[in-house]
């Protein structure tokens, strides 16, 4: 647990810098919030610059697990531009760090793993479990043009994640002590190779799997985030979900998505009943800082999701969207809670 030994604005900046939120918005917020009252129009004095340097740029977590070169350069450039605009004296170590980044060669090879990651960098997310702050750090490779490299109180529950990518959603679950979280994805290299840097994983290709392969999974929940982007994968995803739920009737699948293509999402909603699945949806207009600040870790038993939502979308107190710890700012995410259809629903 981290002690709040710095001003609130510094704590918030450090938290969001670790997570690589947009650099320009971070600097704009510093400009508006760095004064004690958050009243706006604050001068970024050398004293405040020194705080930013010591507590953010040279934060121990960011030194060990650095954000990307590009992000750090953007952040420092935006910060230095504002300082220059305000005609303030520049804290020399800030300028020196920026110059070092301009001259540095980005790492192109990850020697310990043999992965050509192009630019291996890290994102660190903070969240509260009760009164304790915890962090999760993930390693990502931003320049690979394949999906999966770019990230509740489960008690004794077993959770199966489909399309884990960088594994962030499953890591959040794992941080609060479920019985087991199984991470799966389909590309052996580079997605699974990168994912193995964070956890133990299983390969599961939705378009090429066996019943024996699925038989080893006995989850209480299936979770997935942003896996409904390709029309060709919707049927395959639903087939996996259907077969797992057929073996485990009490299991519920929770799939978070943004609507990139109306036709793809409509196909998903139409195809699910054809496979004997019932879908209940809820929407959330997401704001990452709010999710990071208040991420809850409570979820009722799977059956209770649908007891509470029999005639309406899931009640807000169920907080389904908060299972999925990061989404892009100003995006609406859809939570699809999927269960096996009862006989009466199929008539």
Q: pLDDT tens digits, residue range 222-258?
A: 888 777 877 778 888 888 888 888 888 888 888 877 7
Checking phi first, is residue 323 left (phi over 0); if not, alpha (psi -120 to 50) or beta? alpha
Does the pLDDT value for residue 77 go beyond 90? yes
Closest CA to 273 of 306, 246, 238: 238
Burial state string for 130-163 with b = 16 or more CB within 10 A and e = fewer than 16: eeeebbbebbbbbbbeebbbebbebeebbbbbbb
Residue with the bigger pLDDT between 313 and 58: it is: 58
Does the pLDDT value for residue 297 go beyond 70? no
Q: What is the pLDDT of residue 243?
A: 84
Residue with the bigger pLDDT between 52 and 278: it is: 52
Q: What is the pLDDT of residue 67?
A: 92
Once rounded to an integer, what is the mean pLDDT over residues 310-328? 40
- Cα–Cα distance, 93 to 78 (Å, whole number): 16
Q: What is the pLDDT of residue 1?
A: 42
pTM score above 0.85: no
pLDDT in tens, 96-130: 999 998 887 544 444 444 444 445 688 888 776 66
Averaged confidence pLDDT in the chain: 69
pLDDT in tens, 134-173: 787 877 765 443 444 343 334 466 777 776 666 666 666 6
Once rounded to an integer, what is the mean pLDDT over residues 76-80? 96
pLDDT in tens, 165-203: 666 666 666 555 556 666 676 655 554 455 444 444 455
Share of the chain above pLDDT 70, in %: 52
- Cα–Cα distance, 72 to 57 (Å, whole number): 8
Does the pLDDT value for residue 315 go beyond 70? no
Share of the chain above pLDDT 90, in %: 18
Tokens of 206: 């939705």
Q: What is the pLDDT of residue 205?
A: 56
Q: What is the pLDDT of residue 334?
A: 66
Does the pLDDT value for residue 39 go beyond 60? no
Neighbouring C-beta atoms of residue 104, cutoff 10 Å? 11
Residue with the bigger pLDDT between 296 and 127: it is: 127
Q: What is the pLDDT of residue 233?
A: 81
**What backbone torsions phi and psi does residue 26 show, to the nearest 5 degrees?**
-65, -45
């Amino acid at each position: 647990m981290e002690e709040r030994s710095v001003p609130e604005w510094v704590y918030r900046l450090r938290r969001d810098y670790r997570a690589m939120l947009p650099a320009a918005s971070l600097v704009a917020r510093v400009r508006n919030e760095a004064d004690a009252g958050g009243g706006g129009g604050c001068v970024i004095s050398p004293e405040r610059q020194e705080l930013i340097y010591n507590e953010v740029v040279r934060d121990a977590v960011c030194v060990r697990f650095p954000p990307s070169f590009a992000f750090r350069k953007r952040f420092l450039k935006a910060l230095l531009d504002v300082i220059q605009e305000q005609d303030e004296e520049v804290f020399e170590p800030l300028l020196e760090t920026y110059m070092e980044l301009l001259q540095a060669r980005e790492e192109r090879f990850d020697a310990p793993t043999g992965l050509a990651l192009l630019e291996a960098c890290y994102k660190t997310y903070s969240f509260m479990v009760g009164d304790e702050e915890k962090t999760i750090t993930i390693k990502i490779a931003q320049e690979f043009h394949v999906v999966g490299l770019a990230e509740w109180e489960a008690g004794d529950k077993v959770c199966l994640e489909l399309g884990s990518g960088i594994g962030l959603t499953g890591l959040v679950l794992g941080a609060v002590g479920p019985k087991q979280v199984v991470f799966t994805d389909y590309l052996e290299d580079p997605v699974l190779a990168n994912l193995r840097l964070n956890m133990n994983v299983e390969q599961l290709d939705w378009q090429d799997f066996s019943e024996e392969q699925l038989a080893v999974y006995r989850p209480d929940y299936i979770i997935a985030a942003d896996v409904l982007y390709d029309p060709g994968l919707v049927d395959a995803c639903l087939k996996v979900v259907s077969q797992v739920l057929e073996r485990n009737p009490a299991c519920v699948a929770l799939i978070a998505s943004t609507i990139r293509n109306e036709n793809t999402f409509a196909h998903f909603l139409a195809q699910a009943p054809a496979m004997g699945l019932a879908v209940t949806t809820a929407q959330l207009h997401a704001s990452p800082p709010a999710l990071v600040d208040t991420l809850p870790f409570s979820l009722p038993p799977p059956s209770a999701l649908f007891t509470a939502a029999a005639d309406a979308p899931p009640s807000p107190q169920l907080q389904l969207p908060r299972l999925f710890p990061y989404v892009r700012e100003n995006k609406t995410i859809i939570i699809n809670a999927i269960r096996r259809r009862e006989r009466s629903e199929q008539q």
